[in-house]
Structure 1
Amino acid sequence: MAQISEEVLGDERATLLKFVEAQRVAIREALDGVSAEQAASRPSASELSLSGLVKHVSEAEHNWLRLAQQRPNERFTGPESWADGFRLVEGETIESVLAFWDGVRAELEEFVASAGSLDETFPLPPAPWFPENGKVSVRWLLLHLVEEFARHAGHADVIRESIDGRKAMG
Structure 2
Amino acid sequence: MSSLLSQDQLRIRKALSDSSPASSTAATRSLRHERLSRLGSSGSSDISNDVSTNHAESYFKRRENRLSARKKAEEEMANNDYKKMYEKALATNQRLKSRLETSKQELAMIQDQLQRAQKGKPGDCGSNMLETEKKVKAELKMENQRLKDENGALIRVITKLSK
TM-score between the two structures when normalised by the length of structure 1: 0.26
Question: Which structure has the greater CA radius of gyration?
Answer: 2
Q: Which has the higher helix share?
A: 2
